[in-house]
Amino acid sequence: MNYEEAKEVLGRIKSYYPSFLNDADIATKQAWVRQIMKGDHYMTMAKLDDYATKEIFPPKLAHIVHIREIHSDDRMQADIEQVEREKADPKLAREREEKLEKLQAMLKGGAGHE
């Protein structure tokens, strides 16, 4: 995510936990922003919202930052081949499209909708 999105995450944390980072120095706040920027904005916000509904103490980075898994080249090639097989089979292609449509609808409606 970008800098502005990371600041938005920090703002959301502050809205849930008003004393969050109040006594922190600038280096600590910058470290939080740098680490949050490594995450996926949408998923990090979803994890934060979920965390805030269950916990009374402010989160640690590991509680909220969602970092996408990085695939090795071999794993990526296997994923590409699987997609190609799915697209070649009419039944699997139809199932794949249905799943993609559901995912797109869910993303448009927000994290909590199914």
What pLDDT score was predicted for residue 114? 45
CA distance 47 to 64: 5
Domain ranges of the chain: 3-64, 73-109
Measured from the Cβ of residue 6, the count of other Cβ atoms closer than 10 Å reads 21
Q: What is the mean pLDDT of residues 94-110?
A: 82
Joined together, the tokens standing for residue 88 give: 């070649």
Per-residue pLDDT at 9: 96
pLDDT at 113: 47
Q: What is the pLDDT of residues 58-87, one digit of tens each?
A: 999 999 999 887 656 667 777 788 888 878
Residue 77's identity, in one-letter code, is Q
HSE-up (13 A, CA, CB side) for residue 91? 0
Secondary-structure class of domain 3-64 per CATH: mainly alpha
| Helix then strand then coil, % of the chain, to nearest 5 | 70, 0, 30
Residue 83, SS3 per DSSP? helix
CA–CA distances in Å: residue 67 to residues 31, 39, 40: 16, 4, 6
